Amino acid sequence: MSLKRQDGRNLQQMRNIEFKLAIDLSVDGSCLYKQGLTEVICLVQGPRAKTQSELLLIEYSVSPFSNIESKRSSKFDKDYSMFAENLKESFENLIILDENGKSEISISVCVIQNDGSSKSAVFNAITLALLDAGVSMKDFLVSVTVGLDQGNLIVDLTQEESKTAQGELTISYQSRKQKIDFYELKTLKLQQQEMDQLSKLAVSKADEIYQWMKEEIYQIKQKQIDQ
């Protein structure tokens, strides 16, 4: 008999993922991304005429009312001030920017509701918004969070599961190159074998997300053509 988690999912089952593109027609690309109760909105402007010294600008924020349980935070929670830099580095290496340095891309991404695995949701929302904006990229970047809880490998942790997990790993993954781009492991104490198992599981699930997203985007494009 398979073990069930508190929300009824199997150990290695993702929550339901939904996304809507072109939710804001005042910008070049946009996405509302939902993963269970976690929600992220991303807006992309550009490529457009350069107004600042940087080619890629990323503004990352978390709504002060985003947590499902605002008075109780995960032991893994910390200042996310460096996460915008991680995002910028990842997407600078991914986006095909103007070689002449005459254009820029601006990305604004906000976690509007956080019930766990929010960083992976942010990566996925940005990728989808960039695709909606028609931005050329070298690869298709997807992200997933996995963890070890009570000796069990689990996928797509909720906020509550983050509080009890012995380890939590978030990666972003370049699907075509099959290469891990971003790697963040938060752990109390894990054996090397357990860390290897987490990495293997994360890559496997990231590939599943890529295949699903690719098919969803294809269906969206087909509907646009039919119209």
Return the H-helix or E-strand segment holding 30: strand 29-35
* Mean pLDDT confidence for 46-54: 78
- Position 71 scores a pLDDT of 42
Q: Does pLDDT of 1 surpass 60? A: no
Q: Which of 17, 27, 28 is CA-nearest to residue 143? A: 17
Domain boundaries of the chain, sorted by first residue: 17-226
The percentage of the chain sitting over the pLDDT mark of 70, rounded to a whole number, equals: 91
- Position 88 scores a pLDDT of 93
- Position 201 scores a pLDDT of 98
**What is the tens place of the pLDDT at every residue in 60-87?**
999 887 775 444 444 444 556 788 899 9
Q: Does pLDDT of 205 surpass 60? A: yes
How much is the CA Rg of the chain, to the nearest whole Å?
18
pTM for the predicted model, two decimal places: 0.91
Name the CATH superfamily for 17-226.
Answer: GHMP Kinase, N-terminal domain (3.30.230.70)
**What is the tens place of the pLDDT at every residue in 101-144?**
668 899 999 999 999 999 999 999 999 999 999 999 999 999 99
Q: Give the DSSP per-residue string, 163-189.
A: HH-SEEEEEEEETTTTEEEEEEEEESS
